[in-house]
Amino acid sequence: MTFMESQYLFAHPFGTLTSANWRKYPNEYSSHVLSVDILSRCIDPQTGVLRTERLLSIKQSAPAIVRKLLPIPEVSYFREVSFLDPKERTYKAVSNNLSMRSIVDVEETCEFKADPQKPDGGTVFNQRAEVKVFGALNYVARMLEEAAVNSFKANAAKGRQGLETVVDMVLNEAKTVEAGLKEGYEAGIEGLRKGTVGV
């Protein structure tokens, strides 16, 4: 089994980051993610935790030598189950591959937590990927696992960049809405002052 772990601090509040996370795809940095479909979504009435199950289709990019050894499909599917706890300000998503399960087992865990040092302005992001190849010689298994983990590392950096662009989009949308509300409010006040509201 081979794995990679990383931690990153986003300079955005937990609420902003999790809002952007739901809208992460598509983005210019994650063109390998072809589609995201919501399979189910529910809120636990006891805890208030939002559970979401999604299906992701991903275009695979594997080294030529790996493609010669294994019949890797062009598109692979992953099942993601996530839990968003607004009270504790935590988000956890676990993704497992559905494609090629008899050959390789891939599990990725992503977690967001409000930074206790910056509760109003930072979110800690932890990511872990585990890859295990079955039924291969030790050398071949290690090579395949390392190729998969290297792919995760490359996509992890792109994923963070992509999320940052979506955060920027969400913040710009919020500013536009706020400006529109302010303009409407000021126009209403001006109308009241002139006595034209309701005429």
Q: Which residue has the higher pLDDT, 58 or 120?
A: 58
The answer, yes or no, to whether residue 36 has pLDDT greater than 70, is yes
Q: Which residue has the higher pLDDT, 191 or 198?
A: 191
Judge whether 36 lies within some domain.
Answer: yes
Judge whether 125 lies within some domain.
Answer: yes
- The gap from C-alpha 106 to its chain's centroid, in whole angstroms, comes to 16
Number of structural domains the chain divides into: 1
pLDDT band, residue 179 (cuts 50/70/90): confident
Residue 121 has a pLDDT of 80
> Which domain does 42 fall in, by range?
2-194
pTM value? 0.77
For 1-137, where are the alpha helices, taking DSSP H only? 14-21, 64-69
Residue 63 has a pLDDT of 62
Judge whether 15 lies within some domain.
Answer: yes
The tens digit of pLDDT for each residue in 51-91 reads 999 999 988 776 666 666 667 778 889 999 999 999 999 99
Q: Is 172 helix (H, G, I), strand (E, B) or coil?
A: helix
The answer, yes or no, to whether residue 135 has pLDDT greater than 70, is no
Residue 158 has a pLDDT of 80
Judge whether 199 lies within some domain.
Answer: no
Judge whether 57 lies within some domain.
Answer: yes
The string of DSSP codes covering 94-132 is EEEE-TTTTTEEEEEEEEEEE-TTSTTT-EEEEEEEEEE
CATH of the domain at 137: 3.30.530.20
Judge whether 95 lies within some domain.
Answer: yes
Judge whether 116 lies within some domain.
Answer: yes
Q: Which residue has the higher pLDDT, 119 or 3?
A: 3
Residue 96 has a pLDDT of 96
Judge whether 112 lies within some domain.
Answer: yes
